[in-house]
Amino acid sequence: MSRKRIILASLIAVALAGAMAVILPMTSASAAACATPWSSATVYHGGTAASHNGRNWSAKWWTQNEVPGSADVWADQGTCGSGTPGPAPTTQPPGSGCNYPAWIAGRAYVAGDIVKYTDGNFYRAEHDNPGYDPVISTWYWDPYTCGPTNPSPTQNPNPNPGAFVVSEAQFNQMFPSRNSFYTYSGLTAALSAYPGFAKTGSDTVKKQEAAAFLANVNHETGGLVHIVEQNTANYPHYCDSSQPYGCPAGQAAYYGRGPIQLSWNFNYKAAGDALGINLLADPYQVQNNAAIAWKTGLWYWNTQNGPGTMTPHNAMVDQRGFGETIRSINGSLECNGRNPAQVQSRIDAYQRFVQILGTTPGGNLSC
């Protein structure tokens, strides 16, 4: 063999050896150690690691009871070995002291970014966003406070576990032209009447239910603009005189009012009996008291099937889809192709609201 051929053969051997080294699979000895095993009872913040089914996962944003590998909230970090779990995630974000930049409206941010907001607090992005206001969506609800060395978050992303999943800022963003009658404080005051509303299931389900309720309310009231039904010619039609209790407030007193536009004497009686308020005798309370108005909306949402087969509350909690809430509220007039434009109006509002809340709409949106 010539010297040139010997040199060429040697070079080819070296190249092949290098290529083989590149494609050799990672051995278990070189695999990353498994993080602490995932638990359905544990609350995970953005960036928190957990292992599940032989792989490490990283939470993109706040989550609980969403299984790694089956929920978009988890980012796959690859296989992990049988070594000891890695160190617990730190609650101290990267950076130095309080030298985080001021938030700029409209600037895109990515998960993990920390900014100083106009209220003086520090906020960390739960996931990528195109520049939303930190106190509205896609950021941790619980602000970072400036400590001696770093801004440091508390352990709970919501400082008040009993708080409504929709903040006042988010509520205002959803209803920029709302009537001043429909106050956020009136809504939150009404929540005690139905404590399971928007507080049942995972964080995603809670936000989806709140968004679904408010989307239907948005449609019924023209964006929380109308307190009472606008077609006054309909007013005398809502008295069912066959009921034994009649219409003590008058033939034309039971027209649509409030966020769900409660109407008919029998509905005013049923809602009033459930809420401990004599609405049959004085239905005008629904248009004069914001908390009572919101309670009538929540009464229907949580207890009435309407023309559907389930309550809107159960439709969302049991993950039957937003479309079933439409069916339960006005399905006899809108569903099954009867009025697709009205159905789409409700769907559009729902999709807008879940985006504001930083979650996904789920399936089965139409009826």
Q: What is the CATH number of the domain that holds 212?
A: 1.10.530.10
Residues forming beta bridges with residue 277, ordered by sequence position:
none
Active site residue 229: no
Alpha helices, H only, the chain: 3-23, 168-174, 184-190, 203-221, 265-275, 285-288, 290-303, 312-317, 322-334, 340-356
48 and 150 both lie in a single domain: no
Task: Provide the mean pLDDT of the chain.
Answer: 79
Q: Looking at the structure, do residues 216 and 346 belong to the same domain, yes or no?
A: yes
Give this prediction's pTM.
Answer: 0.59
> Stretch 33-41: mean pLDDT, rounded?
80
Are 141 and 215 in the same domain?
Answer: no
Cα(137)–Cα(160) distance, integer angstroms: 17
| pLDDT grade for 229, boundaries at 50, 70 and 90 | very high
| 252 vs 155, residue with greater confidence | 252
Among candidate residues 66, 220, 324, 334, the one labeled active-site is 220
Number of domains in the chain: 3
Residues 227 and 318 in one domain: yes
Mean pLDDT score, 263-273: 96
Which residue range is the domain that position 100 belongs to? 92-159
Of 209, 219, 214, the residue nearest 315 (C-alpha): 209
The proportion of the chain whose per-residue pLDDT surpasses 90, expressed as a percent, equals 52
Q: By three-state DSSP, how is residue 329 classified?
A: helix
Q: What is the pLDDT of residue 38?
A: 81
Using CA atoms, how far apart are residues 207 and 202, in angstroms rounded to an integer? 9
Half-sphere exposure of 123 (CA within 13 A, CB side): 25
Task: Categorize the per-residue pLDDT at 341 as very low, low, confident or very high, splitting at 50, 70 and 90.
Answer: very high
Pair 53, 145 in one domain:
no
199 domain-assigned: no
Query: Is there a single domain that holds both residue 212 and residue 322?
Result: yes
Q: Is residue 224 part of a domain?
A: yes
Same domain for 337 and 250? yes
**Statement to judge: residues 119 and 240 lie in one domain:** no
Contact status, residue 159 vs residue 141, Cβ threshold 8 Å: yes
Q: 130 and 73, same structural domain?
A: no
Q: Indicate whether 294 and 252 sit together in one domain.
A: yes
The owner of tokens 């609405």 is: 279
- Cα 271–276–280 angle (5° rounding)? 50
Looking at the structure, tell me whether residues 234 and 147 fall in a common domain: no
Distances (CA, A) of 52 to 56, 80, 130, 209, 228: 6, 9, 31, 29, 53
